[in-house]
Amino acid sequence: MPSRLSYESGPSASPLLGETIGDNLRRTVERYLDREALVDAPSGRRWTYGELWSDVERLAAALIGTGIETGDRVGIWSTNCAEWVLVQYATALCGAILVNVNPSYRSHELEYALNQSGVRLIVSAPPSERSDYPAMVESVWDRCPSLERLVVIGQPSWDELRAAAAGVGEEDTARRAASLDPDDPINIQYTSGTTGYPKGATLSHHNILNNGYFVGELLGYDEQDRVCLPVPFYHCFGMVMGNLGSTSHGSCIVIPAPSFDPGATLATVEAERCTSLYGVPTMFIAELSHPALADTDLSSLRTGIMAGSPCPVEVMKRVIAEMNMDEVAICYGMTETSPVSTQTRADDDLGRRTSTVGRVMPHLEVKVCDPENGKVVERGQPGELCTRGYSVMLGYWDNPEATDQAVDRAGWMHTGDLAVMREDGYVNIVGRMKDMVIRGGENIYPREIEEFLYSHPDVVDVQVVGVPDAKYGEELCAWVVLRDGAEPLTAEAVREFCAGRLAHYKVPRYVHLVDAFPMTVTGKVRKVEMRERSTEIFSLEDAAPTA
């Protein structure tokens, strides 16, 4: 009998949505006019779907009134707030391409993003203790020839922008919206590459509306759901899985804070009776460790999403047991695939929801290939995970060469992630192709060692990276976050804990204790930086290979 190959396609009884984001929101408004659509907890402001549509339509008219044409780029540079949501839907309604600018960018990175995408108008947050966004825009203005206008949320320029709607009739906005096509580009998101400049993944209405919709479908969303979103809107996790997943089902978007705050998140879930909560694993770890957890009523929760980086098994178990999230899902994806390719289901057993990233999404295909020859591997064998279907980006903005390297001639997006497809079709991510450690000819996947070290009673969080070694080529280094009050953990103690339970070559030689890991804004651990710092900390420069 021939072996089964690592390929799955996602059947669905629900058809893809063949409409624009504006049309979809309008249909939701018609059905749920007086239901709550958006809550900005820090400011106390609330919108019903009718009120949301009114503000979105007015802002779309204002953009048209300022001269923004279909396909023009409009930037948004802000932490989470209600205005971010309004700009997201208003640009979609008038056909502008929203350019998400990472709130952690400094002036050099901002200048690159504005010029690479050709932003005409940028909406920024007001100055804060952490970042003076308007001042940074002003500092690069003369070097950004396409940039014509800066609008600052909550300042007179915001009111001036909204006032521009006065000269635009409802029929003008409706005519613009009707001229749009679901396959039009509507969003540019810059991927945080480890080398070189970021690339602008360009996504269409069809890409992100359908991905948000089917994520919400698998979570069982309806008009009764209230979705707490501490994850950043500038990333797909917030604006697609969160916002579009909510509005395509008549659910309510709840913003707990401008940026992640575990205490504010817990308090908002209780006060707003949220039914769903999103986060990367480090966010859930912070919430589980927060002193307010025991006294917070989380009984309204039933589901949510943990994504962005591999989920530790022990953390997942605690989220289900202590946060009442019995139906919490694991999602896997990347910006270039809008983002979700695989997701666990609400009725999956604990094993599937703690040891896999689920199975293929409806209307998509996934396969696991040998990175050397591109052939699909047998189930149970590791290889590169690839995705094909409606979710694959239109391409990298103004970068056809990079697009051709990422998406092959058959339309498969090559993720760069190492995965194993089980016999039942569920997928396990075992690491990044670049993260795999080769020690003395043995291939080691850091995720396996991380999962094992999570079982140590004093370990709160752990990441494993490869470091140079003169004898074996690479050795393992574990960065460890300990529980409060724990005794320092030595490399020798780690070796004793692993003895007889892990193969000798999988036991970390080096241990580095930290309070936190270097992270991107979206919660991804910066392992490249960790490798570099580990090499310096343990004086391994002489063992590092030279070019």
Question: Tokens for 204?
Answer: 């269409």
Range of the domain at 452: 437-543
Place of tokens 């280094």: 477
Same domain, 522 and 407: no
Look up residue 5 and give its DSSP letter: B
For residue 289, being part of any structural domain is answered with: yes
| CB-based contact 122:114 (threshold 8 Å) | yes
pLDDT at 192: 62
Show which of 365, 391, 420 is a domain's final residue: 420
pLDDT at 470: 82
SS3 state of residue 113: helix
Same domain, 179 and 215: yes
Same domain, 125 and 213: yes
Show which of 367, 391, 420 is a domain's final residue: 420
| CB-based contact 481:515 (threshold 8 Å) | yes
pLDDT at 447: 83
For residue 425, being part of any structural domain is answered with: no
Residue ranges of the chain with per-residue pLDDT less than 50: 1, 193-195, 546-547
| CB-based contact 452:501 (threshold 8 Å) | yes
For residue 293, being part of any structural domain is answered with: yes
Quick one: the chain helix, strand, coil %, rounded to 5? 35, 25, 40
Same domain, 413 and 492: no
Same domain, 458 and 520: yes
pLDDT at 547: 35
Show which of 390, 420, 450 is a domain's final residue: 420
SS3 state of residue 88: helix
Residue pLDDT, tens place only, 166-181: 999 999 999 999 999 9
Same domain, 392 and 452: no
CATH number for the domain spanning 499: value is 3.30.300.30
pLDDT at 522: 60
Same domain, 442 and 409: no
| Nearest of 211, 243, 208 to residue 343 by alpha carbon | 211
Domain count, the chain: 2
pLDDT at 546: 39
| CB-based contact 90:60 (threshold 8 Å) | yes
Integer Cα distance of 446 and 409 in angstroms: 32
Helix (H) or strand (E) holding 134: helix 133-140
Residue pLDDT, tens place only, 43-79: 999 999 999 999 999 999 999 999 999 999 999 999 9
For residue 432, being part of any structural domain is answered with: no
Look up residue 317 and give its DSSP letter: H
Query: CA 150 from chain center: how many Å?
Result: 27
Same domain, 365 and 506: no
Same domain, 442 and 401: no
- Distance, first Cα to last Cα, the chain: 47
How many alpha carbons lie under 13 Å from residue 531 in its C-beta half-sphere? 18
pLDDT at 195: 43
Same domain, 355 and 453: no
For residue 157, being part of any structural domain is answered with: yes
For residue 4, being part of any structural domain is answered with: no
pLDDT at 194: 41
pTM above 0.75, yes or no: yes
For residue 367, being part of any structural domain is answered with: yes
Same domain, 287 and 396: yes
CATH number for the domain spanning 271: value is 3.40.50.12780
pLDDT at 169: 93
Same domain, 467 and 395: no
For residue 14, being part of any structural domain is answered with: no
